[in-house]
Amino acid sequence: MIRSFLFSVAGVVGVMASAQNLNNVTWNPSAPDECDYIAMNLMGNFPGQNYAPDSFDVSPSGFTITINLYCSGGGGGGQTPFSQATPASGPYVAGSYSVIGQLWINGNMVDTWTGNKTVTPATIPDPGLYNEVTLCNSDPNAQLITFLAGTPDPGGVWLDPNGTIVTNGIFDPGQSQQGFYTYEFDQNFPCVDTMQQILVTYEPNSNAGLNGSQQVCVNAPAFQLFPLLGGTPDANGSWTYQGNSVSSTFTPGTSAAGAYVYTVPGIPPCGNPTSTVTVTVTQPGNAGVGGSVQVCETDTSFTLNTVLTGSPSTTGTWYDPNGFSMLNGYNAHVNALVDFPGSYEYRVTVAPCAATVATVVVSYTNTEPPCGEDCLGVEGGPAQPGTACNDNNPNTINDQWNANCICIGYVGIDEPSAAAAMVLQPNPATDAITIDSPAGLVLGYDMHTVDGRLVRSTVVNAQRATVQRDGLANGSYHITIRFADGRATRTIVFE
């Protein structure tokens, strides 16, 4: 049977000799037996950089296997190495095979590679001998293969009494169920599957139940750990966390997240059985702080998130005054020509916490501002007289648009003496800017956008601080640096 496939090739472009050729055909696995499927890899050179493979076929006939690689294109200069693996084919009966690789370009066979490959007789894996074991539910974890009698080969798959694959072949006493476990090797035809079983039973002992887990919000109410255990645990046990005795009550925000171990007294000769409840504590999302805004009644694309303050997550959803979700997620906008005024809610949900909500109250107006062009010529834009701007002079502060829409900056006065020796570099920057203040301790800093929105407030208490970009958009920012005897404001730029 001929098997044809469409495929793509990722090759390394290089300049080599001028003629196209097929250099080699390799097998994976390189030394297969008659139970293996084989992927064949063709390697060679296209006569230029503008060639591409189209398809190939693998055609076995007796002890001869022919692989045809069909390509098309032309020109480009130099040569382009290629390496293409076929989907696995086979299995093939044991024997010595003549392998023929043929390279076709634009319908013409341009090169042939021949070689010999060997398929060895199948080696039937040994699954070991049947055995029965009795364990305590307090015993340590063990590899199931160690319970088999005989000399089982590694590499098989274990199935539990329900036919489910046992992860890594590990038996976890007290958590794994008793019953028949099957060890099997799934062989490709014509090879035959091999398998063996063991019977695992438990000694009589007390019961600590099955492991459990719980994900909770940091502001959730306190809860009991015991009901989170599976199975039928005895009620006379005790709880520990990292080896220390703890209460059976978990209080989010106070109790530490992690693994809580439940132990009940054992029945000799068995030890004390245990089980574990793993608790994960999740922080709620941050929707920021809402506000109110007047939007020009002709504005068709007012972006709601420009009203939010704080540090809102960008993963939330906006809802209009009728409670319908809006398009574009965090970047949703209102069209004053069609959308209703009223309360727009931004909701951020991080399961299992309840959604956090910020409300932006939108009203429409035809007064100026916000209607009319702003100082940058944008209809209803935010660059209004009296609002922040950037005069691109790093030596000025508190830049504002004046009544004539001229961006005016002011030279800082009464700054702390340490500010004179302060250096911010590099500025502009791509990723981070370093503040060096050899003459005084930097207590912290606040960063605002040029339109006055706070984007960061940080405590430093050092003579050096690094201002990381951390997702800030390209542009200018005002940074106010706090000293013990005052503040100094500078302009920084991320690009």
Q: What is the 3-state secondary structure (H, E, C) of 406-426?
A: CEEEEECCCCCHHHHHCEEEC
Which range among 254-263, 402-411, 427-436 has the greatest average pLDDT? 254-263
Q: Residue 141 carries which DSSP code? A: P
Once rounded to an integer, what is the mean pLDDT over residues 280-309? 93
Average pLDDT value over all residues in the chain: 89
Of the candidate ranges 69-73, 171-175, 246-250, 353-357, the one whose mean pLDDT is the lowest? 69-73
Q: Is residue 376 part of a domain?
A: no
pLDDT at 105 over 60: yes
Query: What pLDDT digit, counting tens, does each position of 204-238 carry?
Result: 999 999 999 999 999 999 999 999 999 999 999 99
Exposed / middle / buried, residue 442 (Cβ in 10 Å: 0-12, 13-18, 19+)? buried
pLDDT at 320 over 60: yes
Once rounded to an integer, what is the mean pLDDT over residues 138-160? 97
According to the model, what pLDDT value does residue 414 have?
65
Please give the backbone phi and psi of residue 226, each rounded to the nearest 5 degrees, phi first. -55, -45
Q: Are residues 113 and 9 in the same domain?
A: yes
pLDDT at 196 over 50: yes
Q: Provide the CATH number for the domain around residue 160.
A: 2.60.40
Q: Provide the CATH number for the domain around residue 474.
A: 2.60.40.3080
Q: Are residues 337 and 432 in the same domain?
A: no
Q: Which residue has the tokens 């341009």?
A: 110
pLDDT at 390 over 50: yes
The rounded distance, in Å, linking the Cα atoms of 317 and 327 is: 8
Q: Is residue 388 part of a domain?
A: no
Q: Are residues 425 and 350 in the same domain?
A: no
Q: Are strands 170-171 and 108-119 parallel, antiparallel or unpaired?
A: unpaired
Tokens of 232: 């039928």
Q: Is residue 77 part of a domain?
A: yes
Q: Are residues 244 and 174 in the same domain?
A: no
Q: Are residues 431 and 475 in the same domain?
A: yes
Q: Are residues 186 and 218 in the same domain?
A: no
Q: Are residues 8 and 112 in the same domain?
A: yes
Domain of residue 165: give its range: 131-202
Q: What is the dihedral of CA 56, 60, 63, 67, to 10 degrees?
A: 0
Residues facing 355 on adjacent strands: none
Q: Is residue 111 part of a domain?
A: yes
Alpha carbon of residue 30 to chain centroid: 35
Q: Residue 65 carries which DSSP code? A: E
Give first-to-last CA distance, the chain, whole Å.
Answer: 60
How far is CA 25 from each of CA 30, 47, 82, 273, 451, rounded to the nearest angstrom? 11, 19, 12, 58, 65
Q: Are residues 488 and 438 in the same domain?
A: yes
Q: pTM of the full predicted structure?
A: 0.58
Of the candidate ranges 55-69, 151-165, 480-494, the one whose mean pLDDT is the lowest? 480-494
Tokens of 389: 């701007």
Q: Is residue 125 part of a domain?
A: no
Q: Which residue has the tokens 């099957």?
A: 182
Q: Is residue 286 part of a domain?
A: no
Q: Are residues 35 and 101 in the same domain?
A: yes
Query: What pLDDT digit, counting tens, does each position of 442-495 carry?
Result: 999 998 887 778 889 899 899 999 999 988 988 888 898 999 888 888 889 888
- Comparing CA positions, the residue from 382, 35, 371, 13 lying closest to residue 189 is 35
Tokens of 262: 């439940």
Q: Are residues 333 and 259 in the same domain?
A: no
The rounded distance, in Å, linking the Cα atoms of 190 and 35 is: 7
According to the model, what pLDDT value does residue 410 have?
62
Exposed / middle / buried, residue 82 (Cβ in 10 Å: 0-12, 13-18, 19+)? buried
Q: Are residues 112 and 22 in the same domain?
A: yes
pLDDT at 388 over 50: yes
According to the model, what pLDDT value does residue 119 have?
95
- How many percent of the chain have pLDDT more than 90? 64
pLDDT at 279 over 60: yes
Per DSSP, the three-state class of 220 is coil
Contact 486, 414 (CB under 8 A): yes
The rounded distance, in Å, linking the Cα atoms of 441 and 464 is: 8
Last-in-domain residue among 348, 365, 382: 365
Once rounded to an integer, what is the mean pLDDT over residues 335-358? 95
Q: Which residue has the tokens 């994900």?
A: 215
Q: What is the 3-state secondary structure (H, E, C) of 203-238?
A: CCCCCCCECEEEEEECCCCCEECHHHCECCCCCCCE
> Which residues of 335-392 form beta strands (DSSP E)?
342-348, 356-365
Q: Specify the number of domains making up the chain.
A: 5
According to the model, what pLDDT value does residue 434 have?
93
Last-in-domain residue among 71, 90, 119: 119
Contact 252, 239 (CB under 8 A): no
pLDDT at 1 over 50: no
Once rounded to an integer, what is the mean pLDDT over residues 403-407? 75
Phi-psi region of 455 (alpha: psi -120 to 50; beta: other; left: phi over 0): alpha
Per DSSP, the three-state class of 353 is coil
Q: Are residues 43 and 104 in the same domain?
A: yes
Q: Is residue 375 part of a domain?
A: no
Alpha carbon of residue 3 to chain centroid: 37
Q: Is residue 436 part of a domain?
A: yes
